[in-house]
């Protein structure tokens, strides 16, 4: 037996979480993470993945991954700056820059890593960061790592942002001030007000940083939230992930050439963590080719998203204020949300409960992520199950 202090800490805190219904149990999948998944031998309609376009199981990506593994092996063998940069990594970065309409791009091992890398490479203790209060955990951690002063502004509240930007820039306390926002907020599915944010940024010379993990492949005909608003030349940092709509794993920053040059010499996960595997890189490149050659998957994603939303709303559920295919179904109380999700599961729908601390207390929700790979029959079946469980639990009348 190890440390008693650790044992005491773990026992107390785990029991506390469990008693409040906040302890998340992980269900391993026995199948690919497609529109239908298998858990404990049971088939379920999957409404919980970020595999928006169904690319995680696309034959073209699988073939590209296998081919790359055959040629380059399964691992890159080193960090990027020693000799873990394969020609494939450079090709991917060129493709990402073209995809995002920027001069250059740099790839990382994940979107999370990207925020650890990019913020602290540029911001330090003499700087300040204006951060939307609902920003993703990796943005929050990336900001903390930089040791810059973090100034939170109310969610998508431009007047609050403007007031805080004014105060920060006129105080004379900071060398640089950055504004950071998600492009699409993953818990509610709302879109950042980028045109207004850019206006404030221009007024106060703020560095602009948009993490578009949930927007790429989804908005702007696939190119993302920044492209959606036609702001490709106005945003300094465009962050993306290869793990969601792209269907693989990894992250990237797209921006001007000298920014990317700087990140290649100063961002720590690039210097000290082994680069993306050849299979990941090849599959990601194939995905971007697919996105650029046709909007078919993108269009089907939106069609399915709108269909599910309309159906849930017609049944009487509170689906919040989503502007994207992300479809929350707000239940409120944490225990009740967990119970609702569990009953959906028993009836054949996998839609995960999302509760505090991921979302504010009292706003527990079951979040639905329809994808391009779902059929109308699957969505109809899911709606039918939602109706049945909603009535059983007295959420619907």
Ligand X SMILES: *Cc1c(COP(=O)(O)O)cnc(C)c1O
Residues that are catalytic: 186, 214, 244
The verdict on 241 binding ligand X (CB under 6 A) reads yes
C-alpha distance across the termini of the chain, in Å: 53
Question: Running DSSP on this structure, what letter comes out for residue 177?
Answer: E
The two tokens of residue 192 are: 């950042």
The pattern of x and - marking residues 57 through 96 that bind ligand X according to CB under 6 A reads ----------------------------------------
User: Between β-strands 349-350 and 42-46, what pairing exists: parallel, antiparallel or unpaired?
Assistant: parallel
String of contacts with ligand X for each residue 137-176, x by CB under 6 A: -x--------------------------------------
Residue choice 46, 85, 156, 243 for contact with ligand X (CB under 6 A): 243
**Residue 213 or 219 having the CB closest to ligand X:** 213
Which token pair is 14? 């785990």
C-beta of 179 vs 385, nearer to ligand X: 179
Could you say whether residue 111 binds ligand X (CB under 6 A)? yes
Does the footprint of ligand X cover residue 182 (CB under 6 A)?
A: yes
Q: Does 228 bind ligand X (CB under 6 A)?
A: no
Segment contacting ligand X by CB under 6 A, of 1-9, 35-43, 207-215, 288-296:
207-215
CA–CA distances in Å: residue 222 to residues 3, 94, 100, 370: 51, 17, 10, 16
Least distance to ligand X from the beta carbon of 390, Å?
A: 28
Find, among 258, 156, 259, 138, the residue nearest to 200 by Cα: 156
C-beta of residue 100 within 8 angstroms of C-beta of residue 321: no
Q: Kindly tell me which residue out of 80, 100, 214, 365 binds ligand X, with binding defined by CB under 6 A.
A: 214
Choose, by CB under 6 A, the member of 112, 204, 252, 345 that binds ligand X.
112
- Check binding of 213 to ligand X (CB under 6 A): yes
- Report the nearest approach of ligand X to the CB of residue 115 (Å): 6
Choose one: 2-10, 104-112, 165-173, 227-235; the region binding ligand X (CB under 6 A): 104-112
In the list 127, 132, 188, 211, the residue contacting ligand X (rule: CB under 6 A) is: 211
**Which residue's structure tokens are 């640089």?**
176
- The label of the residue with tokens 């493709």 reads 95
Torsion angles phi and psi, residue 165, rounded to 5: -65, -40
Residue among 54, 251, 364, 390 that touches ligand X (CB under 6 A):
251
Half-sphere exposure of 74 (CA within 13 A, CB side): 0
Between residue 350 and residue 379, which ones bind ligand X under the rule CB under 6 A?
Answer: none
Which token pair is 168? 């920060």
Helix axes 59-72, 278-293, angle to 10 degrees: 140
Residue number of the CB closest to ligand X reads 111
Task: Report the alpha-carbon angle 292-296-302, nearest 5.
Answer: 110
| The one among 95, 136, 162, 367 contacting ligand X by CB under 6 A | 136
Question: Rounded to the nearest whole angstrom, what is the least distance from the CB of residue 315 to ligand X in the complex?
Answer: 28
Q: Shortest Cβ distance from residue 281 to ligand X (Å)?
A: 14
Edge-first strand order for the sheet with 364-368 is 327-332, 364-368, 353-354
Pick the piece of the chain touching ligand X (CB under 6 A) from 105-113, 123-131, 298-306, 329-337. Answer: 105-113
Check if the beta carbon of residue 293 is closer than 8 Å to that of residue 333.
no
Nearest distance from C-beta of residue 108 to ligand X, angstroms: 9
The Cα–Cα gap between 320 and 309 comes to 10
Nearest to 299 by CA among 372, 377, 374: 372
Q: Which is nearer to ligand X, 186 or 341 (CB)?
A: 186
Q: Is the dihedral of CA 42, 45, 46, 51 positive or negative?
A: positive
Enumerate binding residues for ligand X (CB under 6 A): 110-112, 136, 138, 182, 186, 211, 213-214, 241, 243, 251
């Amino acid at each position: 037996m190890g440390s008693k202090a650790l044992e005491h800490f773990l026992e107390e805190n785990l029991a506390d979480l469990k008693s409040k219904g906040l302890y998340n149990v992980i269900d391993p999948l026995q199948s690919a993470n497609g529109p239908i998944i298998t858990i404990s031998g049971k088939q379920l309609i999957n409404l919980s993945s970020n595999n928006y376009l169904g690319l995680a199981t696309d034959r073209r990506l699988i073939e590209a991954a296998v081919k790359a593994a055959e040629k380059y092996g399964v691992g890159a063998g080193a960090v990027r700056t020693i000799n873990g940069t394969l020609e494939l990594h450079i090709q991917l970065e060129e493709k990402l820059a073209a995809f995002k309409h920027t001069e250059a791009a740099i790839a990382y091992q994940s979107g999370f890593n990207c925020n650890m890398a990019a913020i602290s490479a540029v911001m330090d203790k003499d700087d300040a960061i204006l951060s939307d209060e609902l920003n993703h955990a990796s943005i929050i951690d990336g900001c903390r790592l930089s040791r810059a002063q973090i100034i939170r502004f109310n969610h998508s509240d431009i007047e609050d942002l403007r007031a805080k930007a004014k105060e920060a820039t006129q105080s004379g306390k900071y060398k640089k001030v950055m504004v950071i926002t998600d492009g699409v907020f993953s818990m509610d599915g709302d879109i950042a007000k980028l045109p207004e944010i850019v206006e404030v940024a221009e007024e106060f010379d703020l560095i602009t940083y948009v993490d578009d993990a949930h927007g790429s492949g989804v908005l702007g005909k696939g190119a993302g939230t920044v492209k959606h608003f036609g702001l490709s030349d106005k945003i300094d940092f465009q962050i993306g992930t290869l793990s969601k709509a792209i269907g693989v794993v990894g992250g990237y920053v797209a921006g001007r050439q000298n920014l990317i040059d700087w990140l290649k010499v100063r961002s720590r996960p690039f210097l000290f963590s082994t680069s993306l595997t050849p299979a990941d890189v090849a599959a990601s490149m194939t995905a971007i080719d697919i996105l650029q050659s046709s909007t078919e998957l993108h269009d089907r994603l939106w069609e399915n998203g709108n269909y599910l939303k309309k159906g849930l709303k017609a049944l009487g559920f509170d689906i919040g204020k989503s502007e994207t295919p992300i479809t929350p179904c707000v239940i409120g109380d944490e225990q009740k949300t967990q119970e609702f999700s569990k009953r959906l599961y028993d009836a054949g729908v996998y839609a995960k409960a999302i509760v505090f601390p991921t979302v504010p207390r009292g706003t527990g929700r079951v979040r639905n992520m329809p994808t391009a790979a779902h059929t109308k029959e699957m969505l109809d079946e899911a709606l039918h199950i939602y109706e049945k469980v909603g009535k059983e639990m007295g959420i619907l009348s």
